[in-house]
Amino acid sequence: DAMVIQNPRYQVTQFGKPVTLSCSQTLNHNVMYWYQQKSSQAPKLLFHYYDKDFNNEADTPDNFQSRRPNTSFCFLDIRSPGLGDAAMYLCATSRDRGENSPLHFGNGTRLTVT
Amino acid sequence: AQSVTQPDIHITVSEGASLELRCNYSYGATPYLFWYVQSPGQGLQLLLKYFSGDTLVQGIKGFEAEFKRSQSSFNLRKPSVHWSDAAEYFCAPQCSGAGSYQLTFGKGTKLSVIP
């Protein structure tokens, strides 16, 4: 009974072709996050939603966008993927922000850009 | 500037041996502290967390971690490693100030287990 579900597990896209990654949660958590993890590196926060409030990290490229149409779903849109965007993309949720709200991660979507 | 350091990139231990993974942080105030584990091709799973109180915290899968304020450390330990513990381990401090939320992950320590 997976609680944070990411689809697909593997995604291949072409250079410059828009791609959307999906995340859903059954935890009814307020906060949803998107992390980018390149090979042998730590996950890097791209942005998060606190309910409907979108929070972008300062160094997240404009090429990355996100949508949260409801509590359960969150999407990551990459408008024009470059070779450097190949990575594992991790979705996470937390009940709230701050202490005592640890993150719950999905299994990730591995994106390949050809 | 806030930072977290995991000095060991890769550690190899024999099954049944003890394990200690190091984590040091540099924050203005004592942060909340987490350890996450990532199996190959998977997301991250919370092992344990420290907010306050007892400096030795117990987690899942037989792991424990000890917070040492004087050393700004939060090292992860396990008395006897199992082959299934082979994974990557991330230390992650979180600012404890009002309104703070961002988790900063260390670069990770990859654990290999020899049968």
- B10 touches A at CB < 8 Å: no
Distance CA A106, CA A67 (A): 17
Positive/negative CA dihedral, B106, B49, A57, A9: positive
Residue A33 clears pLDDT 60, i.e. is over it: yes
Residue spans of beta strands (DSSP E) within B15-114: 19-21, 24-26, 32-38, 44-50, 56-58, 64-68, 73-78, 87-94, 109-114
CA A52 to chain B, closest CA, distance in angstroms equals 17
Distance CA B31, CA B94 (A): 5
> Taking a C-beta distance cutoff of 8 angstroms, is the pair B10, B112 a contact?
yes
Please name every residue paired with B37 in a beta bridge, in sequence order, or none if there are none. B45, B89
Mean pLDDT lowest for which of B5-14, B15-24, B42-51?
B42-51
User: How many structural domains comprise chain B?
Assistant: 1
- Looking at per-residue confidence, does B52 or A19 come out higher? A19
Distance CA B5, CA B27 (A): 12
* DSSP alpha helix (H) spans, B1-115: none
The model's pLDDT over B35-91, given as tens digits with 9 standing for 90+, comes to: 999 998 888 999 999 988 889 999 999 999 999 999 999 999 999 999 999 999 999
Residue A100 clears pLDDT 80, i.e. is over it: no
Partners of residue A100 in chain B, C-beta under 8 Å: 51
Distance CA B78, CA B34 (A): 16
CATH number for B11: 2.60.40.10
Q: Find the domain containing B53 and state its range.
A: 3-114
Q: Find the domain containing A80 and state its range.
A: 4-109
The answer to whether residue A10 is domain-embedded is: yes
Residue B22 clears pLDDT 70, i.e. is over it: yes
Quick one: pLDDT band at residue B2, thresholds 50, 70, 90? confident
Q: At CB < 8 Å, which residues of chain A contact B?
A: 4, 6, 31, 40-45, 48, 90, 92, 97-100, 102-108, 110
The rounded percent of chain A whose pLDDT value lies above 90 is: 82
Distance CA B109, CA B7 (A): 8
User: How many structural domains comprise chain A?
Assistant: 1
pLDDT at B101: 67
> Taking a C-beta distance cutoff of 8 angstroms, is the pair B46, B29 a contact?
no
pLDDT at B64: 98
> Taking a C-beta distance cutoff of 8 angstroms, is the pair B106, B5 a contact?
yes
CATH number for A18: 2.60.40.10
Residue A99 clears pLDDT 70, i.e. is over it: no
CA A37 to chain B, closest CA, distance in angstroms equals 10
